[in-house]
Structure 1
């Protein structure tokens, strides 16, 4: 017989899911690609300073990390980065080109050979020279990619063009040896995709104040014999049409994902391949994200769905989509294809992300890399489910509910559990319904979690995404509050023990919620936006420097709104205890925002803690940081909600 079930108050349940375990399993494989017949990808190493390494899967199924520490495969272009490596096969084996995070230079190397050698120079100007989406073109002796070049010391003093870097290393100390493929026509560009016959290139471009999910242009140019781009022209897109990805089919036709109908659907040479009210694309937060991949047969591997993105194969002649069978309910936009083989990164509600291969000929899908293995007894995972709530005006609010769950504990009769509302970042993003040990860290202790995909989230069509236009700090706050109050009203959550937490844009929503509502007893705020006036006027990076023009409204027309919405301007309204977490190397949401907010809170007697982390930027990557942050957050809830979590040191709160 099993152990008897113990009766303990919510929050005080002992759990094997500790902070170290959650931190060790943070992050996921990404940037999947084929190198010949092999599948390669990048993988996180939280215990190695948070770096990302490059992993190779050999023909016999073994995995090898081909870049030891301190190499860190990660680009800082637009600060969020994206596709940072590529490889081609040669007679001597693979030739790999990658971006190293520390100096942002392009390097090349042959696995098993000499150490990586630099292909690009350093620059002492501003943030230097940065590169992304490398595409080795041995026929031209070059790597084609995106160059982000700082022209001054300010965060917006830069230019972006398509460029060609010599593979022979002649540009390692000579900026003039880098050949620019395009003029500086647009503020933002993605890497060129070259047609199968090498005669044309296609890429995406957009300009301030638009974000890529607002409107992009699809540009096509002819490629001359010497590798020059000629007659660049826009063939699709516009200010109110977002093209998320473009690529060439084997027959030379141009495929792209456009939301011209209100949903990202696929088109071939301007003609729709299907008409569905679901997404076949997403917000381009990182350059090189891939939601579809053409196959040699003419079929197309696709990610699609409402909310969750699942892997399927689209027949462009019939519009039929056949989904891969398996436990994966969510795929990351990291598809790659080789022949009829498809590789991607999938996860499920009870399993983490792993590298999956689908054979389009047989329909068989299997895990081929980074296999998910339960780090603890899955009986401690929450029974998560999708919910749709009703918000102000009767609008739908999509959410994921993760109730408290422990196989050996129950709460006393009549006690309702505390719940934490999680507001995701972006805000044009979405919380996926996948196993997250950070969530299980709380639910296995008796604290419920509600992830809210508030109005403005992606995955539900352009109309849902546009709800946040001019309404950031209103719709997101209202939707999170509506979910929290609904859980309390239906008897799922204790109305006196509700909390809110989030990072980046989610940190903004958390702070704004504490400043403008009385729903929550406390909040955990990570690397947030707090002061719109400062953040939108030179305190953040170029990519999002005019994001507020759509989220808040044109500054020239509604200047007062920037003050009215900022939590930093309403510090006197924050009366609930809070935890503030900040990376000191964050250039997206810099520490100055937190410092001004705290200065205005000084002397007001509100219990709070401010934890800063050296060497961390926007989002925490180091295991020791994540452990400290998680345990501090749990201690905040324990002190406010009135329970004692076993094995966790008390967070010191100041007033």
Structure 2
């Protein structure tokens, strides 16, 4: 056993260097099953972030379906997601460069299905009975901020494209029942975001694919309905937060019932299309993921009894869950593992890693393990965070010294930090810093009431919670109150700048593509987020004074510590 070196916190040497942090990774984007064929998308940073789809055929061989220059991404809502779907070995995908829809046939030919680059496509499915592609279309012909979003269908050769559902501002989740008789979808209007208020609709399909008998199944004022999935026996399942928690519900054609009421979240904010937190193994069994206190679990749910039990797993984050009845595939990560693609038996047993996003090139001995904490904040409430203490097996600190603290602020702001391995965090902890990922009021994963804390309070609640997270760790004796820094990206960058400007707790900060002028964001951002500020700050321009008072750029004279800025000139989301 080697001896440790005594050195001040922050001066530790670590094998987790900046080069290791930025080493090549291949993020796993999404997964889909088409019969026995498995399709999955990867992002390749070495190719300027190009996304490409691979297929594992039933014989186990893996091959690339969309070679360069194809980039399987969509810009619907700018954040994309749901860029491909597969049916009978044919892959239908959106190409990022020209926004066109393509098909890669089972024999390897690739051809265009659409011609108008002003039309963007996402979240597609295939109606095999009628030979139609059905999905979301975002029409930018007239304007980007006033783009028209509809549901469309077209023949599988790209001909005869028709709008089948229109009239609302946004659509998502077109899903076809197994018998091909019914189509469901979710929809919402400005100023709502999909985690605020959505509706779930259903319609019958005629033989030629026309919709009849359209009716609302769920949703409305104060209710977010997401992730509709048809069961093998024709019932419609969905996730709703009507109980304060995103829980599973079942609609049998006449009535709705809660499947498994829990104080847990079975979904996450729909920033992108195509999220999938559950799927059917058979008509009576669902495999799902849910989160409690910042940790995700994989579970098996009996739809008849509502009984749920966790599946044994070393992982703490799960997503893109799919089953064909014989096997289960999903993405997973943990505090000591990058994202992996896993295939298992349908009941979750015998998991096998098919793909890894990156290999850990340093010993796990250097990894700090996360601690979920709940701390007091303003108004007699509590908030949540994930704390990483400094850790390096080669070093100890001088007796009595407390480590410096880096407060990390996630983006969104309607999002959350997870416990998945992040080498940026481990860089700091292995060099002798403590890190806390703050899931401030407004974050997802803790119920709707917690998520709604930020309504009208952005720049206040989030800032207070970051301050109180730091002060809690100081009071607990974990960190040095005189050495606290803060950093965040996008919305987290805004919170960082607001905390540095309007509070006197932090000694340095870093803003990564953060907002500093809220009025410009409200006026110039893309359609999907163009009314997001209505709920976070108030309608613009009626609440113009609020936008001004909470914009750090107008109060730079109050900054009294160093701050570094990283900003992108071509950023369409944060202008």
Name the TM tier (shorter chain).
over 0.9
Partner of 1:541: 526
| Higher mean displacement: 73-82 or 289-298 | 289-298
- Cα distance, 1:548–1:414 mapped onto 2, change above 3 Å: same
Alignment counterpart, residue 225 of structure 2, candidates 220, 232, 243: 243
After superposition, give the CA deviation of every residue in 1:587-626 in whole Å (9 maximum; x if it has no partner): 1101xxxxxxxxxxxxxxxxxxxxxxxxxxxxxxxxxxxx
Alignment counterpart, residue 540 of structure 2, candidates 533, 555, 559: 555
Give the alignment's TM-score, normalised by structure 1. Answer: 0.84
Q: State the distance in 2 between where 1:415 and 1:361 align.
A: 50
Matched, 1:65 2:64: yes
Partner of 1:165: 154
Alignment counterpart, residue 311 of structure 2, candidates 315, 324, 328: 324
How far residue 414 of structure 1 moved from its aligned partner, in angstroms, is 3.1
Partner of 2:438: 452
Q: State the distance in 1 between where 2:142 and 2:288 align.
A: 41
- Map 1:346-357 to 2 at 5 A: 346-357=332-343
Partner of 1:622: none
After superposition, give the CA deviation of every residue in 1:570-602 in whole Å (9 maximum; x if it has no partner): 122122111111122211101xxxxxxxxxxxx
Decide whether the 8 Å contact of 1:249 with 1:295 is kept in 2: no
- Cα distance, 1:58–1:113 mapped onto 2, change above 3 Å: closer
Q: State the distance in 2 between where 1:558 and 1:326 align.
A: 48
Decide whether the 8 Å contact of 2:299 with 2:309 is kept in 1: yes
- Map 1:111-260 to 2 at 5 A: 113-114=108-109, 116-123=110-117, 128-153=118-143, 155-170=144-159, 177-182=160-165, 184-260=166-242
Q: State the distance in 2 between where 1:362 and 1:552 align.
A: 44
Decide whether the 8 Å contact of 1:452 with 1:483 is kept in 2: yes
Q: State the distance in 1 between where 2:387 and 2:347 align.
A: 37
Instruction: Give the 3-state SS of the residue equivalent to 2:529 in structure 1.
Output: coil
Decide whether the 8 Å contact of 2:127 with 2:176 is kept in 1: no
Partner of 2:412: 426
Matched, 1:367 2:349: no
- Cα distance, 1:577–1:27 mapped onto 2, change above 3 Å: farther
How far residue 57 of structure 1 moved from its aligned partner, in angstroms, is 2.6
- Map 1:392-541 to 2 at 5 A: 392-537=378-523, 539-541=524-526
How far residue 395 of structure 1 moved from its aligned partner, in angstroms, is 1.4
Matched, 1:99 2:113: no
Q: State the distance in 1 between where 2:26 and 2:213 align.
A: 42
Partner of 1:617: none
Decide whether the 8 Å contact of 1:190 with 1:204 is kept in 2: yes
Instruction: Give the 3-state SS of the residue equivalent to 1:24 in structure 2.
Output: coil
Partner of 1:589: 574
Q: State the distance in 2 between where 1:458 and 1:294 align.
A: 25
Structure 2, unmatched stretches of 5+, are: none
Decide whether the 8 Å contact of 2:173 with 2:227 is kept in 1: no
Instruction: Give the 3-state SS of the residue equivalent to 1:120 in structure 2.
Output: coil
How far residue 507 of structure 1 moved from its aligned partner, in angstroms, is 0.7
How far residue 36 of structure 1 moved from its aligned partner, in angstroms, is 2.2
Q: State the distance in 1 between where 2:428 and 2:179 align.
A: 54
Instruction: Give the 3-state SS of the residue equivalent to 2:522 in structure 1.
Output: helix
Partner of 1:13: 12
Partner of 1:377: 363
After superposition, give the CA deviation of every residue in 1:254-307 in whole Å (9 maximum; x if it has no partner): 111111111111111111112211112221111221122123242112111323
How far residue 381 of structure 1 moved from its aligned partner, in angstroms, is 0.9
Q: State the distance in 2 between where 1:316 and 1:503 align.
A: 40
| Higher mean displacement: 484-493 or 74-83 | 484-493
Q: State the distance in 2 between where 1:418 and 1:62 align.
A: 49
Name whichever structure is richer in strand by fraction: 2
Q: State the distance in 1 between where 2:285 and 2:103 align.
A: 33
Structure 1, unmatched stretches of 5+, are: 171-176, 591-655
Partner of 2:55: 56
Instruction: Give the 3-state SS of the residue equivalent to 2:571 in structure 1.
Output: coil
Instruction: Give the 3-state SS of the residue equivalent to 2:22 in structure 1.
Output: helix
Instruction: Give the 3-state SS of the residue equivalent to 1:262 in structure 2.
Output: coil
Q: State the distance in 2 between where 1:522 and 1:479 align.
A: 18
- Cα distance, 1:198–1:79 mapped onto 2, change above 3 Å: same
Alignment counterpart, residue 109 of structure 1, candidates 86, 104, 117: 104
Partner of 2:269: 283
| Higher mean displacement: 219-228 or 9-18 | 9-18
Instruction: Give the 3-state SS of the residue equivalent to 2:333 in structure 1.
Output: strand
How far residue 169 of structure 1 moved from its aligned partner, in angstroms, is 4.3
Decide whether the 8 Å contact of 2:298 with 2:313 is kept in 1: no
Matched, 1:29 2:18: no
CA RMSD of aligned residues (A): 1.8
| Higher mean displacement: 10-19 or 418-427 | 10-19
Alignment counterpart, residue 390 of structure 1, candidates 370, 373, 376: 376
After superposition, give the CA deviation of every residue in 1:429-454 in whole Å (9 maximum; x if it has no partner): 11011111121122111222100000
Instruction: Give the 3-state SS of the residue equivalent to 1:435 in structure 2.
Output: coil
Decide whether the 8 Å contact of 2:455 with 2:535 is kept in 1: yes
Q: State the distance in 2 between where 1:81 and 1:237 align.
A: 24
| Higher mean displacement: 368-377 or 268-277 | 368-377
After superposition, give the CA deviation of every residue in 1:115-152 in whole Å (9 maximum; x if it has no partner): x22111134xxxx2110012133433331111000132
Decide whether the 8 Å contact of 1:43 with 1:54 is kept in 2: yes
Decide whether the 8 Å contact of 2:133 with 2:156 is kept in 1: yes
After superposition, give the CA deviation of every residue in 1:481-524 in whole Å (9 maximum; x if it has no partner): 00112222333222222111111110110011011011111111
Q: State the distance in 2 between where 1:226 and 1:253 align.
A: 23
Decide whether the 8 Å contact of 1:210 with 1:239 is kept in 2: no
